[in-house]
Amino acid sequence: METKKKNNFLDIANEVKSVSTTRRKLKLEKALDRFLVTGENQIVDDIKSVVSDLSFSNRMIHVALSKIDINVSESAVRRYRVKYGIVEG
């Protein structure tokens, strides 16, 4: 019985995977996109620079972003860093 459930789940997961071709943007990516749309490229460059600098912790970046009304969690900052190879997952 358990093998059947496992196989069914694997089949279901593979089906979902084959249908899901879209990739959701990360919260920080969405925030950066909003600045780019309004032509605020310098703030995007500044944020990317800080995010790339490992002397700033995820918490520090989270707090700094919240002060400019970008409300993303520390884990959202971490996910961004992992995705772009700044830190390892």
Predicted pLDDT at 3? 57
Please check whether residue 69 is in contact with residue 84, taking contact to mean a CB–CB distance below 8 angstroms: no
Predicted pLDDT at 16? 82
Q: What is the pLDDT of residues 59-74, one digit of tens each?
A: 999 999 999 999 999 9
Sign of CA dihedral 12, 13, 17, 20: positive
Q: Residue 53: left if φ>0, alpha if ψ -120 to 50, beta else—which one?
A: beta
Lowest mean pLDDT among 1-5, 48-52, 79-83: 1-5
Stated pTM of the model: 0.75
Mean pLDDT (whole number) for 72-79: 97
Mean pLDDT (whole number) for 35-43: 96
